[in-house]
Amino acid sequence: EAGVAQSPRYKIIEKRQSVAFWCNPISGHATLYWYQQILGQGPKLLIQFQNNGVVDDSQLPKDRFSAERLKGVDSTLKIQPAKLEDSAVYLCASSPGGARREKLFFGSGTQLSVL
């Protein structure tokens, strides 16, 4: 079974530039999550989709971050414009239903460096 796919693996940009990350979840998984993991910290949820609807985006900095999940399958996360503090690993995860008791399946992440 294919896992959660993410691209690119690494990205280096300068502050104030824009960047986009892509995620393809496990086939059939209804729920998709974007997490931000700053070095030395645990992952922090940015946004959660159930099919193509947003369940929770309370921790998404909406002035610069946006995300969409068209047709309830793959998703893109965009940062515009990027700040130095956005340097982190962006992890995508999926789960079959979305209940808090479910285990999550994670991709390998995109490591973003903002210079």
Counting contacts by CB under 8 A, is residue 104 touching another protein? yes
Classified as helix, coil or strand, 84 is helix
In the complex with another protein, the residue whose CB is nearer, 33 or 114, is: 33
Classified as helix, coil or strand, 68 is strand
Q: Within 10 A of 50 (CB to CB), how many other CB atoms are there?
A: 16
- Smallest separation, CB 89 to another protein (Å): 7
Counting contacts by CB under 8 A, is residue 71 touching another protein? no
Among 13, 26, 30, 45, binds another protein (CB under 8 A): 45
Task: Give the phi and the psi of residue 24 in degrees, each rounded to 5.
Answer: -120, 115
Counting contacts by CB under 8 A, is residue 107 touching another protein? yes
In the complex with another protein, the residue whose CB is nearer, 81 or 106, is: 106
C-alpha distances out from residue 51 to 19, 73, 105, Å: 24, 7, 16
Counting contacts by CB under 8 A, is residue 94 touching another protein? no
Counting contacts by CB under 8 A, is residue 101 touching another protein? yes
In the complex with another protein, the residue whose CB is nearer, 9 or 15, is: 9
Q: What order of strands is seen across the sheet that includes strand 19-24?
A: 5-7, 19-24, 75-79, 65-68
